[in-house]
Structure 1
Amino acid sequence: MARAKTGTGRLRTRTAAVALASCAMAAGLTATTAQAAQASETDEHCVLDVSTRDHTCYETLAEARQQGRRIADTTGELIGATVFEDVEYGGSSLTITVPEPCPKNDEVDFWLDLDDYWQNRISSVQAWSTCWVWLYPDSGDRAGPYKENHPDVGGYINDRTVTVGLS
């Protein structure tokens, strides 16, 4: 069930550990028993369109991915990246859609300043399509590019990201 998220308020959805494990497997990930045990009733799985800034949340990662693909089919948008609150693709997730494949032009083409909920929470990332993911802490430095899936972004940037760039 989709739930719109407006402003910077926090919308939390309920999900069970079993649902998280099923979603991870559906996404092609290996879910461990420890990951399933970490699932929280407050996890949310959202899709954010960088073009329109529309932000919709779902109860499961599978629903969010399905919606991201639906956006791609109907508007030409693509999934550019998914970022996760916890290592090993656990916790809440934010799937970011972009209007076109990321060109390889030595520039960051799409920017997302994270809302209050997502600031200083990212611990793992998945790059989609042709996009590379860059993570920026408040200091202005950056980490990346993450050109593929990274179950742990590393100690330097873990829980320090305030802006995501896609190139």
Structure 2
Amino acid sequence: MRHTFKRSLTVALATLTASVVSVGLSTTGANAATDQTQRADNCVVNVDSGSKQCFGTFREAIAATTDGKITNAPLSAKHIDQKLTDRLSAASHTTGAQAVQLGVVFRDSNYGGSAQVFEASSGCQSGNGRDFQIDLSGSWNNAVSSLTTLSCWLELWDAPGTAGFHQEYQQSTSYVGDAMNDRASSIAFL
């Protein structure tokens, strides 16, 4: 009887140890998933190719989209200012520039939360209509609350393929308004 109890206790301890290790691995997996989510907070989307690359900070995203010409942008997109907007515009017009920054959309009002910087091989041609368009997919579908214009005006649409209700923004806007808040499914660059 004592031998059976000892064996049962050993099996129970082994099971408990395996459970603790499993929970530890699950927590590590959850932390890795959280790290990946945090890395997705600041993305650069190329509207020519549709490619998307995400970074841990807004500074890293700006450094990537400017090919290292601007490495001291704020850590958070919330702190974008006119000085940085002017520097982004100047960087995209320099010889050898790889990309032109079109605009930035933010998940929260007042330029807060996650940010996506849109870039292309050229800027918008003023006055000739739509230069680029792209659907907002994944977690960005129906999630835009504020935006910053850079080399283009931005036009948010409530359906994919720039269809449905839309609103045009000719300047940076801390709140896109009740009619468009968390409703954009596509964006046009004018």
The two structures have a TM-score, normalised by structure 1, of: 0.70
Which AA in structure 1 matches 2:153?
W
- Name the CA distance, whole Å, in 1 between partners of 2:147 and 2:125: 19
Higher helix share: 2
Which AA in structure 2 matches 1:148?
Q
Find the partner of 1:142 among 166, 179, 190.
166
Find the partner of 1:151 among 128, 153, 174.
174
How far did 1:106 drift? 3.7
5+ long unaligned stretches in structure 1 = 1-10, 15-42
- Name the CA distance, whole Å, in 2 between partners of 1:121 and 1:94: 11
Contact 1:114–1:163, Cα closer than 8 Å, also in 2: yes
Residue of structure 2 in register with 1:108 after alignment: 130
Identity %: 28
Q: What secondary structure does 1:117 align onto?
A: helix
How far did 1:105 drift? 3.2
5 Å-filtered alignment, 1:7-18, equals 11-13=36-38
- Name the CA distance, whole Å, in 2 between partners of 1:120 and 1:63: 25
- Name the CA distance, whole Å, in 2 between partners of 1:53 and 1:75: 19
- Name the CA distance, whole Å, in 2 between partners of 1:135 and 1:119: 11
Contact 1:137–1:157, Cα closer than 8 Å, also in 2: yes
Per-residue CA deviations over 1:83-110 (Å, capped at 9, x if unaligned) read 0000011111100002212002341110
Greater relative contact order (Cα < 8 A, sep 6+): 1
Q: What secondary structure does 2:119 align onto?
A: strand
Contact 2:66–2:98, Cα closer than 8 Å, also in 1: no
5 Å-filtered alignment, 1:64-103, equals 64-70=61-67, 76-103=98-125
Which AA in structure 2 matches 1:111?
Q
Contact 1:124–1:150, Cα closer than 8 Å, also in 2: yes
- Name the CA distance, whole Å, in 2 between partners of 1:158 and 1:56: 25
Which AA in structure 2 matches 1:143?
Q
Q: CA RMSD in A?
A: 1.9
How far did 1:76 drift? 3.2
Segments of 4+ in structure 1 off by > 4 A? 71-75
How far did 1:75 drift? 5.3
